[in-house]
Structure 1
């Protein structure tokens, strides 16, 4: 592997981490879309539309994601006290716990990114690579 071009190393590493993380998510009845939605709900309750905008998906896609997260017990819905016509989506305790577990798994497990010595620096370098456009 030491002779491989950097692009190949990145590609193989991405596929391996993606597969391992997908397996983790599946074991917890989560999808990548669901995990992203949970992340955005940490700031507080949002309407379905606000959550769709934050996640950069369509309302229809968010509707399916919300349905799955509701069935898994990771989120709840309640009426907005300021506008009774609107429903707010919010994290449940179970959702908060699974999100924390996913973040810990990503950071600290040897089979995901925990194998990286300086996780914060690695993230910053990835962000730089992605932002060059």
Structure 2
């Protein structure tokens, strides 16, 4: 039995949820390929973005990125191996470590931010589309 990977031709007949899921998956795959070329993962980019305003304890970083401590530990390990962050002892509490963006990490974050509009094509400069996404996420997060 051969399974077709060609989508149904009439996308307009798809339910909105399916359209959103497919669009998200397509964007995620393209974005992952772009980030991979920079030595980053999506999780790594989120961590770098969160660290752009200064060092944070790893637990705080995990909370702000909405991931577990273990997930953040692995992410920071990868970022440190790539030279994008450093770990230093927290001067206020020697039991904690601070994750800090390096110059290389700041540069790769800035490059990723610049690459995003090209990735999304016409949607990259469409403020109305971005505003609509923000509104949708806000309403869904609030349960509305």
TM-score (norm 1): 0.81
Matched, 1:115 2:125: no
Structure 1: 5+ residue stretches without partners: none
Q: Provide the TM-score with structure 2 as the length reference.
A: 0.76
Measure how far apart 1:83 and its partner are. 3.4
How far 1:78 sits from its partner (Å)? 2.0
Match of 2:19 among 9, 26, 42: 9
Alpha-carbon distance between aligned partners in 1 of 2:141 and 2:96, rounded to the nearest angstrom? 36
Unpaired runs of at least 5, structure 2: 1-10
State the structure with more CA Rg: 2
Give the whole-Å Cα distance in 2 for the aligned partners of 1:57 and 1:96. 22
Give the Å deviation of 1:130: 3.2
**How many residues matched?**
130
The residue number in structure 1 matching 2:35 is 25
Tell me which of the two structures has the higher relative contact order, counting C-alpha pairs closer than 8 angstroms and 6 or more residues apart: 1
CA distance 1:128–1:86, shift in 2 (3 Å): closer
